[in-house]
Amino acid sequence: MSVETLVHQEVLVVRLHGDLDHHSVESIRSEVEKALTLGGYRALVMSFASIDFMDSSGIGLILGRYKKLKEMRGAMALCEINPSLEKILKMSGVYRVLPVFPSEREALAHVKGVL
Amino acid sequence: MSSRVSPSVAVENYIRLQFPSKSENESFARVAVASFVAQLDPTLEELTEIKTAVSEAVTNAIIHGYENSFGEVRIECSILDHTVKITIEDDGAGIEDISVARQPLYTSRPDLERSGMGMTIMETFMDLMELESSPGCGTRVTLVKTVGDDPSQQPS
Ligand SMILES: Nc1ncnc2c1ncn2[C@@H]1O[C@H](COP(=O)(O)OP(=O)(O)OP(=O)(O)O)[C@@H](O)[C@H]1O
Ligand SMILES: [Mg+2]
């Protein structure tokens, strides 16, 4: 598992790769947290385009970042969710609290509009 | 379902795995079970569902059962016709109240950013999930799913 972070103006974009499970989530979380804190970003886009596998550990990661950005009055969006991921996210109510877009471009446009 | 000549021959094929409760074994466990189940010719979706359910049970054994101390996790996976049955067991802390633990969004470890969705995911992705647990002794999860060309699952 690896994380690719890039910055689009005020927005931190995190592209997740590989397997997102309990074993990999800790280093991902600390990398995302570090990038958020160091850059002082108030907006986050998480892309799941290159995710091969995800279990409930991923839900914890998403909802944990959501809480944090909400406290900061920031904005967050998800994108590139494949069908099996979609099932887990719907089940756990992620779709009720976070906007989800087909492409990174649309997710970026959304969070920039909210800020 | 084909009728069996001898009901005592209830297991067509099986594997057993046992490993210490290290998080690096989580991916090994789900991939091993999925490779074994592949002989039933499941759809990719069914295979993903089984992998996810196994990952949830193994992760629970490691995080909650052993609370990151070391113990053994045991998996048995057997197949019969088109049905796969998987048991995942630990000798860890056990569960005080199973009906509470099964509730969606219930977690005893919000401090670890757990979401309380593991049990719900197992229930949704498998045809059957059974939980047996005794506090101080351990937990056993049984997961059952029929895959592939089961005539009772007509495509819609
Ligand atoms: N093997 C186990 N041993 C002891 N307790 C367990 C075990 N499995 C589950 N539990 C208890 O049941 C609760 C619910 O489990 P569940 O998998 O649904 O949620 P979680 O593991 O807390 O969060 P998530 O799975 O979303 O990361 C756990 O918080 C834990 O208290
Ligand atoms: Mg769990």
**Residue with the larger pLDDT of the pair A5 and A94:** A94
CA proximity to B59, closest of A33, A16, A58, A3: A58
Residue B104 token pair: 């969606």
Interval A60-88: pLDDT, tens: 999 999 999 999 999 999 999 999 899 99
Amino acid identity, residue B10? Answer: A
Q: Report ipTM for this prediction.
A: 0.94
pLDDT at position A68 is 94
Q: Whose CA is nearest to atom 28 of ligand 1?
A: B107
Do B139 and B67 form a contact (C-beta atoms < 8 A)?
A: no
Interval A2-59: pLDDT, tens: 789 888 888 999 999 999 999 999 999 999 999 999 998 999 999 999 999 999 999 9
How distant is the alpha carbon of residue B38 from its chain centre?
A: 16
Residues of chain A positioned with their CB less than 8 A from the CB of B24: 23
Question: Over 80: is that where the pLDDT of B9 sits?
Answer: no
Residues whose CB is less than 8 angstroms from the CB of residue A50 and which lie 6 or more positions away in sequence, other chains included: A15, A16, A17, A18
| Minimal C-alpha gap between A112 and chain B (Å) | 27
Phi-psi region of A17 (alpha: psi -120 to 50; beta: other; left: phi over 0): beta
DSSP strand E in chain B: where?
13-20, 72-80, 83-90, 128-134, 138-146
pLDDT band at B148 (very low <50, low <70, confident <90, very high): confident
Average pLDDT of chain B? 92
pLDDT at position B119 is 98
Residues of chain A positioned with their CB less than 8 A from the CB of B104: 91-92
CA of B109 to the centre of ligand 1 (A): 8
pLDDT at position A84 is 87
Question: Over 80: is that where the pLDDT of B149 sits?
Answer: no
Phi-psi region of B69 (alpha: psi -120 to 50; beta: other; left: phi over 0): beta
Regarding the beta carbon of B108 and ligand 1, being less than 6 Å apart is answered: yes
A76: which strand partners? A44
Do B85 and B32 form a contact (C-beta atoms < 8 A)?
A: no
Tell me which of A21, A51, A54 to substitute to probe the interface with B (most B C-beta atoms closer than 10 Å): A21
**Ligand that lies nearest to the alpha carbon of residue B119, given by its number in the listed order:** 1
Q: Enumerate helices (H) and strands (E) in chain B, giving the number of each.
A: 4, 5
pLDDT band at B150 (very low <50, low <70, confident <90, very high): low
pLDDT at position A2 is 78
Do B79 and B146 form a contact (C-beta atoms < 8 A)?
A: no
pLDDT at position B8 is 55
Q: Once rounded to an integer, what is the mean pLDDT over residues B25-29? A: 98
pLDDT band at B151 (very low <50, low <70, confident <90, very high): low
Residue B7 token pair: 């009901």
pLDDT at position A112 is 94
Domain B13-148 CATH class label? alpha beta
**Residue with the larger pLDDT of the pair B39 and B5:** B39
Beta strands A11-20 and A2-8 are antiparallel
CA of B150 to the centre of ligand 1 (A): 31
Name the residue facing A64 among B30, B113, B118 (closest C-beta): B113
| Total Cβ atoms within 10 A of residue B97 | 11
- Taking any CB pair shorter than 8 Å as contact, residues of chain A touching chain B are 19, 21-23, 25, 29, 53-57, 59-61, 63-64, 83-84, 87-88, 91-93
Cβ-defined contact of B121 to A91 (cutoff 8 Å): yes
Residues whose CB is less than 8 angstroms from the CB of residue B5 and which lie 6 or more positions away in sequence, other chains included: none
Index of the ligand 1 atom closest to the CA of residue A57: 27
Q: Once rounded to an integer, what is the mean pLDDT over residues B124-135? A: 98
pLDDT band at B24 (very low <50, low <70, confident <90, very high): very high
Question: Over 60: is that where the pLDDT of B133 sits?
Answer: yes
Name the residue facing A91 among B24, B113, B120 (closest C-beta): B120
The DSSP secondary-structure symbol of B38 reads G
**Which residue ranges make up each domain of chain B?**
13-148
By three-state DSSP, how is residue B128 classified? strand
Q: Is B85 exposed, middle or buried (0-12, 13-18, 19+ CB in 10 A)?
A: middle
Regarding the beta carbon of B55 and ligand 1, being less than 6 Å apart is answered: no
Do A78 and A98 form a contact (C-beta atoms < 8 A)?
A: yes
- Work out the percent of chain B whose per-residue pLDDT is above 70: 88
pLDDT at position B29 is 98
Interval B43-98: pLDDT, tens: 999 999 999 999 999 999 999 999 978 999 999 999 999 999 999 999 999 999 99
